[in-house]
Structure 1
Amino acid sequence: MPLHFRRTSAPSTVTVDAPARLHLGFLDPSGSLGRVFGSLGLVIDGAGTELEARLAETDSIAGTMTDSERARIGWCLERLHAAYGPAPVAFNVLRTPRAHSGLGSGTQLALTIGTAYARLTGLATTTAELARLLGRGGRSGIGILGFDSGGLLLDGGAPRDRRGAGVPPLVARQHFPDAWRVMLVTDTSREGLSGEAERRGLAALAPFPQQLAAHLCHLVLMRILPGAADGDFDAFAHGITEMQQIIGEYFAPVQGGVFASPDVEAALRAAAAGRPAGIGQTSWGPTGFALLPSALEADAALLAARAAVRDKPHIECAVCAARNRGAVIRVSGALDAHVDAA
């Protein structure tokens, strides 16, 4: 079926700055009530993707990227040309996070390419339409929804018999308290599962118990989201840690433990010792996170984490803030930013 689209006036240069995201856990990986997965996630500052694009005589791809990212950009361009017609574009990649580290780099890259292409060629298309065209959002909608709005997000998963047919719907969006912080701990010697290895891993897992799915839904709706809304950090952090433990135990047979990296786990346990913190792993890792109630607590947690892995140079620790807005798009030097959802 051909894609239907409208054209608007096109600018000469577009820069897209897309944020990273933490995947905080699935609600029901087996779809016991008919909808599969359902995701909780948080958009964060730092570790995002930024690129600039302009119309050109031929397609070109330059900047800082890996060979696999270059190939991914080429594939996205082929899909865009096939759907919307040939329009050569020159891309310059300014910044990308490390691939397969749990920060949603694949979705960021696809959506920045698609959005820049759409703006340059005057296409009035949505992020969800671009995501479907470029093969994103098959399991989780957090990266796609976060591209538009930022914040703490809950998606409703997909009908079990139609998974991958579209972007999961946004069920809830909560402003993340400005004072709270995020500490990231990454094992640079590992990569999270992706592609065929990820599909095999998911297929090897036993069905997720309906009782646990019900408990996770209860945690999210009656502790985690209200905790963020009320600024009740203890309730929020305890809910996140419990959710992560349950999900981590379920995926442990595939990833080798509750955390994919024992060294990341050691750093996070040290960071959380004696202070309020919500800890876990984003997606398949190897990046873990600790959520802290203030910049002061985050600095103390960072010192503790680094002390715990001082002899492990492959472990990187950093503190960042959450992000309550989505991607920022600069058109011909004028700021045109996605705004927070109502």
Structure 2
Amino acid sequence: MVNGSTIMPEKKELPEQVPTVVEVRTPARVHLGMLSFGVPTVRSFGGIGIMLDRPGVHVRLQKSEQFLARGPLAERALEFAQNCVSAWDLGAQAACTIEVVSTPRAHVGLGSGTQMALAVAAGMRQLFRPPLPEASAEADNDPTNDEWLFDTNDAIHCAQAVGRGRRSCVGVYGFSRGGLIIEAGRIVPATPGVKGEGVSPMVARVRLPSAWRCVIIIQRDSIGLYGELEKAAFARLPPVPIEISAELARLALMQLLPAAVEANFTDFSDAVYRYGQLAGKPFEQESLKLPHAASTADVIELLGELGVRGCAQSSWGPAVMACCESLDAAGTLVEKLESLNLTRQYEAIIARYDSQGAVLRSIS
């Protein structure tokens, strides 16, 4: 859904020749926070995310006689590929060499794990052609048929093979066509061992104005929670009060979403800040233990003093998104950060809000 209108990709037949080399480029993801979790009668893990054109994942896969991987996070990429072989029953002949050309730093709030997993799965799917869901519409309307975008069913099919989207699905939906995404969450039964609903449904996707930019500010020496530590943190957290969930839903659906649709930057920025501040409250019991908690709060306060209203931490941090109305405004903000010598301690990356999602290119 873009500005209230549903856009469906044109279906085309895939080329008969199966490629031997493909590459996939993905956007990055910021997560502004969850709507709720922990209340059995209320959907859990829904929330808001925004896709950015950088710093994304770039991988290249080539058919080979055995699995090999090189580059940053190569072992994770190899594990994702082997998950695909098992999930899709591809057989021993389905092997490839994976080159991780580039990827954001892991566990800083940019969704690199999900994007890496989906990129590898998309590459494996294109190289070895497992049976696809009936509704899959993989081809984009590029007349050369050398590049493809992905629809929602493609992204979910890939995510299921590599075990992503078990909590938030923002990165999965964002892999398909980018955008500002609001997902509703899913019902999680209170009884251990009882399987809940599957994929959290996406209730809105908006393409943000092409002129808008953001600056992603990331503390260089810190990472957020992930893996078993994150699971343990969720287990210790109390349920989100329904009153907070209600106010987050109001902010999302009555302020943030309309401002995005109407391209009202001032209201959008205000809603980003208010949503981010409130969404972080239920997590404070655990998030305040993180080494970057105080410095992240200081960065958000400083951004406000510099005139940037729309700023929020992504996920467990340390990444912070600062909204800017134009490229010039983003450049000015980075110059101010440099003048304060903050870029020694923090990366500052100017990004565009992505409205395309991941792209797969067939090299041969």
The TM-score by the shorter chain falls in which range?
Answer: 0.7 to 0.9
TM-score (norm: length of structure 1):
0.88
Paired residue secondary structure (1:182): strand
Deviates more, 1:247-256 or 1:294-303: 294-303
Per the alignment, do residues 26 and 225 of structure 1 end up closer, same or farther by CA in structure 2, a change over 3 Å counting? same
- Structure 2 distance, partners of 1:251, 1:163, is 25
Per the alignment, do residues 203 and 7 of structure 1 end up closer, same or farther by CA in structure 2, a change over 3 Å counting? farther
Instruction: State the partner residue of 2:147.
Output: none
User: Is 2:177 aligned against 1:149?
Assistant: yes
**Superposed displacement of residue 149, structure 1:** 1.2
**Superposed displacement of residue 203, structure 1:** 1.5
User: Is 2:66 aligned against 1:34?
Assistant: no
**Superposed displacement of residue 75, structure 1:** 2.0
- Structure 2 distance, partners of 1:146, 1:323, is 9
1:94 to 88, 98, 101: 101
Instruction: State the partner residue of 2:83.
Output: 79
Per the alignment, do residues 321 and 58 of structure 1 end up closer, same or farther by CA in structure 2, a change over 3 Å counting? same
Instruction: State the partner residue of 1:340.
Output: none
- Structure 2 distance, partners of 1:259, 1:246, is 21
Asked if 1 retains the 8 angstrom alpha-carbon contact of 2:65 and 2:96, the reply is: yes
Misfit runs of 4+, over 6 Å: none
Q: What per-residue deviation string (whole Å, max 9, x for no partner) do you get for residues 173-214 of structure 1?
A: 001111111111101211110011111111211221101100
Deviates more, 1:311-320 or 1:175-184: 311-320
Q: How does 1:222-241 map to 2 (within 5 A)?
A: 222-241=254-273
Deviates more, 1:274-283 or 1:258-267: 258-267
Q: How does 1:1-342 map to 2 (within 5 A)?
A: 9-31=17-39, 33-62=41-70, 64-65=71-72, 69-83=73-87, 84-86=89-91, 87-125=94-132, 126-161=154-189, 166-256=198-288, 260-273=292-305, 275-308=307-340, 310=341, 313-332=344-363
Asked if 1 retains the 8 angstrom alpha-carbon contact of 2:296 and 2:320, the reply is: yes
Asked if 2 retains the 8 angstrom alpha-carbon contact of 1:176 and 1:322, the reply is: yes
TM-score (norm: length of structure 2):
0.83
Per the alignment, do residues 122 and 146 of structure 1 end up closer, same or farther by CA in structure 2, a change over 3 Å counting? same
Asked if 1 retains the 8 angstrom alpha-carbon contact of 2:74 and 2:99, the reply is: no
Q: What per-residue deviation string (whole Å, max 9, x for no partner) do you get for residues 213-269 of structure 1?
A: 001101100100100111111211111111111122221221117994433433333
Deviates more, 1:50-59 or 1:97-106: 50-59
Paired residue secondary structure (1:37): coil
Paired residue secondary structure (2:48): strand
- Structure 1 distance, partners of 2:296, 2:331, is 17
Deviates more, 1:199-208 or 1:219-228: 199-208
Asked if 2 retains the 8 angstrom alpha-carbon contact of 1:268 and 1:305, the reply is: no
- Structure 1 distance, partners of 2:82, 2:277, is 41
Q: What per-residue deviation string (whole Å, max 9, x for no partner) do you get for residues 60-99 of structure 1?
A: 112x21xxx2332232232222232221111111111100
Paired residue secondary structure (1:286): coil
Instruction: State the partner residue of 1:337.
Output: none
Supply the AA of the counterpart residue of 1:122: R
Supply the AA of the counterpart residue of 2:361: R
- Structure 1 distance, partners of 2:116, 2:241, is 34
- Structure 2 distance, partners of 1:322, 1:259, is 29
Asked if 1 retains the 8 angstrom alpha-carbon contact of 2:28 and 2:115, the reply is: yes
- Structure 2 distance, partners of 1:58, 1:282, is 38
Supply the AA of the counterpart residue of 1:182: C
Asked if 1 retains the 8 angstrom alpha-carbon contact of 2:188 and 2:196, the reply is: no
- Structure 2 distance, partners of 1:149, 1:259, is 35
Q: CA RMSD in A?
A: 2.3
Q: What per-residue deviation string (whole Å, max 9, x for no partner) do you get for residues 34-56 of structure 1?
A: 31121201000111100111111
Paired residue secondary structure (2:29): strand
**Superposed displacement of residue 164, structure 1:** 7.2
Supply the AA of the counterpart residue of 1:41: G
- The structure whose residues are more often strand, as a share, is 1
Q: Percent identity?
A: 30
**Superposed displacement of residue 124, structure 1:** 4.9
Asked if 2 retains the 8 angstrom alpha-carbon contact of 1:245 and 1:258, the reply is: no
Asked if 1 retains the 8 angstrom alpha-carbon contact of 2:23 and 2:59, the reply is: yes
- Structure 2 distance, partners of 1:192, 1:320, is 21
Paired residue secondary structure (2:97): strand
Asked if 2 retains the 8 angstrom alpha-carbon contact of 1:19 and 1:44, the reply is: yes
Paired residue secondary structure (1:11): coil
